[in-house]
């Protein structure tokens, strides 16, 4: 049996759930997944619709809804906000969100002077417990390369205009540290409850590619 290639051999230290032991499958991860899925569906071991439902849940409901609750709490509770900015891992765990890919969280706050943007230049490191699965564009080579070189241009293309006087900080996620952007609370939302605020917070605003409307 061939031993798995270790990160020392690949020079790749993003030690998430990559498994390098399956050299007979296609090298492109998307093709590998497709092959495995086809095989499992063909053998009747899984149902394609059930798989789609799971992915949908993690991409749009479970994942980002957790992060949105963290943001809404930070907006409404100054002590919690301070704790989040000081020790995000503990503050997030206090709301019940922790686990794989969320062990070393750092929260970065948008202000009128600073806009934060998160990327993983090497692969697709992403804070699963608060944001779920990364969107396809987050994993694309174009975003990973250009977010660092030309963040303002990338944000503009994604529909977010950042004024020239606002500093853009780009945070490169790694296996060690995952970032959560605390977006600016929109004006005129003072009357909203924490729950209503959470409903407004989008996944993209917590990656830093959108504002909260």
Among residues 68, 88, 91, 120, the one that binds Fe ion under rule CB under 5 A: 120
The residue range among 7-15, 146-154, 184-192, 198-206 that interacts with Fe ion, by the rule CB under 5 A, is 7-15
Using the rule CB under 5 A, is 123 a contact of Fe ion? yes
Tell me how far, at minimum, the Cβ of 124 lies from Fe ion, in Å.
5
User: Which residues form the catalytic set?
Assistant: 120, 123-125
| Number of Cα atoms under 13 Å in the Cβ half of residue 184 | 14
What dihedral angle (degrees, nearest 10) is formed by the CA atoms of 152, 76, 199, 203?
Answer: 30
Considering only the C-alpha atoms of the chain, give the largest distance between any 2 of them, rounded to a whole number of Å.
62
Tell me how far, at minimum, the Cβ of 120 lies from Fe ion, in Å.
4
Among residues 14, 18, 104, 139, the one that binds Fe ion under rule CB under 5 A: 14
| Number of Cα atoms under 13 Å in the Cβ half of residue 5 | 12
Using the rule CB under 5 A, is 125 a contact of Fe ion? yes
Using the rule CB under 5 A, is 84 a contact of Fe ion? no
Based on CB atoms, which residue is closest to Fe ion, 125 or 201? Answer: 125
Alpha-helix runs per DSSP H in 57-161: 62-76, 78-86, 88-94, 128-131, 136-139, 141-149, 151-157
Tell me how far, at minimum, the Cβ of 156 lies from Fe ion, in Å.
25
Tell me how far, at minimum, the Cβ of 183 lies from Fe ion, in Å.
22
Burial of 102 (0-12, 13-18, 19+ CB in 10 A): buried
**How far is Cα 176 from Cα 14, in angstroms, rounded to an integer?**
8
The residue range among 56-64, 117-125, 135-143, 178-186 that interacts with Fe ion, by the rule CB under 5 A, is 117-125
Residues contacting Fe ion: total by CB under 5 A: 5
Based on CB atoms, which residue is closest to Fe ion, 14 or 169? Answer: 14
**How far is Cα 177 from Cα 160, in angstroms, rounded to an integer?**
25
Using the rule CB under 5 A, is 91 a contact of Fe ion? no
Q: Which residues bind Fe ion (CB under 5 A)?
A: 14, 120, 122-123, 125
């Amino acid at each position: 049996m061939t031993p798995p290639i270790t990160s020392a051999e690949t020079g790749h230290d993003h030690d998430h759930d990559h498994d390098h032991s399956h050299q007979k499958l296609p090298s492109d991860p998307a093709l590998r997944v497709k092959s495995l899925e086809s095989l499992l569906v063909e053998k009747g071991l899984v149902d394609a619709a059930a798989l789609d439902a799971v992915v949908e849940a993690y991409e749009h409901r479970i994942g980002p809804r957790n992060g949105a609750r963290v943001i809404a709490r930070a907006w409404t509770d100054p002590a919690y906000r301070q704790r989040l900015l000081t020790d995000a891992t503990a503050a997030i765990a206090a709301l019940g969100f922790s686990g794989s890919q969320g062990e070393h969280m750092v929260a970065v706050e948008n202000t009128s002077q600073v806009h934060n943007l998160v990327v993983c230049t090497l692969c697709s490191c992403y804070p699963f417990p608060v944001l779920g699965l990364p969107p396809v564009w987050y994993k694309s080579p174009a975003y990973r390369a250009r977010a660092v070189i030309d963040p303002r241009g990338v944000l503009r293309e994604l529909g977010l205009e950042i004024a020239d006087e606002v500093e853009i900080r780009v945070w490169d996620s790694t296996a060690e540290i995952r970032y959560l952007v605390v977006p600016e609370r929109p004006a005129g939302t003072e009357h909203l409850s924490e729950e209503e605020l959470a409903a407004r917070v989008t996944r993209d605003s917590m990656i830093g590619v959108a504002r909260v409307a």
